[in-house]
Amino acid sequence: MLIGPEIPKTKQQIWKGLFKTLETTPFDKVTINQICSAADVSRTTFYRHYVDKFALIEKINLYYAEQLRMFSKRRQNLTDLTVILLELSDFFQSNAEEISACLGITDIPNPLQDQVNQVLHDEFTYFIENHPAIGIRMNLPLDYSANLYVAISMAFLTYALTDEITPEIIQSLDFMQKYLFY
């Protein structure tokens, strides 16, 4: 699990405690006591940082969505996406268990799946709106194209969580993105 240095140590412990608990207990059955026990922190410490488990998972989901947003912003001016796609797949593979656990929690407000879809949709829309010639050349409705981009990207990201990303997979995604973008 890779958590950036911007996350304080105690919060990292709590995050790890939640993920350890999720290995054996579905999110709707997870208790604060279980998280605290797995994180080796007191309930007081937990509540000093989060009001409940929903606030905790919301913060974790936001963290992973923001990481994806940072990768997305870096790729906007690139024509060869190979390096950034490899970095993105490495990040997803390094955090596969945690991201998979978060993606599996869908009965909460603003689940990670929705946040990831929104980041990808926003990235595509921003790119097309700032490169009008590309949008016209595609001659497809923007929302349709954005949803297609999201579906292709989610297929790649989901695959990166469970399987090895090969150069051929990177090339295929690069090809599909070039078709949509260029």
Q: Where are the domains of the chain?
A: 1-50, 57-181
CATH for 1-50 (3.40.50.2020, 1.20.1440.230, 2.30.30.830, 1.10.10.60)? 1.10.10.60
Distance, in Å, from the CA atom of 11 to the CA atom of 63, rounded to the nearest integer, reads 12
Place of tokens 């790649």: 156
Cβ–Cβ < 8 Å for 17, 39: yes
Cβ–Cβ < 8 Å for 180, 149: yes
User: If residue 87 lies in a helix (H) or strand (E), which one and from where to where?
Assistant: helix 82-94
Planar angle of CA 33, 38, 44, nearest 5 degrees: 45
- The number of helix segments (H) and strand segments (E) in the chain equals 10, 0
Place of tokens 């923007």: 142
Cβ–Cβ < 8 Å for 14, 51: no
Global confidence as pTM: 0.86
Per residue of the chain (182 residues), give pLDDT as tens. Answer: 556 677 889 999 999 999 999 999 999 999 999 999 999 999 999 999 999 999 999 999 999 999 999 888 877 666 666 777 778 888 888 899 999 999 999 999 989 999 999 999 998 888 778 877 765 556 778 888 889 889 988 988 888 888 888 888 888 887 887 776 66
Helices 82-94, 167-181: axis angle to 10 degrees equals 120
Amino acid, res. 62? L
Q: Which residues are CB-contacts of 67 (< 8 A; sequence separation ≥ 6)?
A: 4, 91
Distance, in Å, from the CA atom of 157 to the CA atom of 28, rounded to the nearest integer, reads 25
Amino acid, res. 42? S
